[in-house]
Structure 1
Amino acid sequence: MTATTNPKPARAAKRDLFAELSEGMAALTEQREGKRTLRAHAVVYKPAPKVTPRDLVRMREKLNLSRALFAVYLRTNVRTLENWEQGRAKPNAQAALLINLVKQYPDTVQRLATI
């Protein structure tokens, strides 16, 4: 009888965080000395969009969706959506952005349904 061994799955190579940080610091030093050009990106902070309870209810009704189905599409709890609609709670920044996306582009609901 021969014994077979199951090879262990290959592990991803461990990251050397110290080396990555050292490389980044060296690049930053070179950039400050004018020896290297690093990519820079201008970032403009935009506050979370406002979502009123009235707007939320109107949008859901305009889309002809039940509260339960709309909550499923937004990946949130029905009670949470109910609290938003009744003004007892406010959507966080990510939820408010998604809600405004649906408001501006109603086909987003169908796209969310496919994900």
Structure 2
Amino acid sequence: MVLTEKELLERDAKRNIGEELLSAILDVKAGRHGDVHQVELTEAAEARGKTGLSQPKFAQLLGVSVRTLQEWEQGRRAPSGAARSLLHIAALRPDVFRDVLMAQP
């Protein structure tokens, strides 16, 4: 159900955000987690995670901007060509990826 802006404002005016947050914290502490959402990692995010590199360092090794890497990791854009191949190598063999690309002058 999509609410109009007016409906959202009316709904939010009746909410007590502090009380909702406290209730959520108490639920978590009590082991009640409510809705659990699974977030599927993109190949770029998974590959970088396996290498243990920061976004700036990983982007530098791939030869792309940090912004491009972020777009890939968030699924807004997809890598192509050589970048896709490098991501695949990084995911399968993060040790080789780090050793080979970090040894470049």
The interval holding the TM-score normalised by the smaller chain is 0.5 to 0.7
Q: Is 1:53–1:84's contact at 8 Å kept on the other side of the alignment?
A: no
Q: How does 1:56-67 map to 2 (within 5 A)?
A: 56-67=44-55
TM-score (norm 2): 0.54
Residue pairs, 1:101-112, within 5 angstroms? 101-106=89-94, 107-112=96-101
- Of Structure 1 and Structure 2, which has the larger fraction of its residues in helix? 2
User: Within the alignment, does 1:113 sit opposite 2:102 as a pair?
Assistant: yes
Amino acid paired to 1:100: H
**Per-residue deviation, 1:86:** 0.8
Alignment-derived partner of residue 28 in structure 2: none
- List aligned pairs for 1:9-48, cutoff 5 A: none
- CA change 1:55–1:92 in 2 (3 A) is closer
Aligned to 1:86: 74
TM-score (norm 1): 0.49
5+ unaligned residues in a row in structure 1: which ranges?
1-51
> Whose Rg is larger?
1
Counterparts of 1:56 and 1:93 in 2: how far apart (Å)?
13
5+ residue gaps, structure 2, are 1-39
**Partners in 2 of 1:55 and 1:98 — Cα distance?**
11
- Determine which of 43, 53, 64 is the counterpart of 1:76: 64
**How many corresponding residue pairs?**
64
SS of residue in 2 equivalent to 1:88: coil
Residue deviations 1:16-69, cap 9 Å, x none? xxxxxxxxxxxxxxxxxxxxxxxxxxxxxxxxxxxx852321221222111111
Identity of aligned residues (%): 33
Which AA in structure 2 matches 1:110? Answer: D
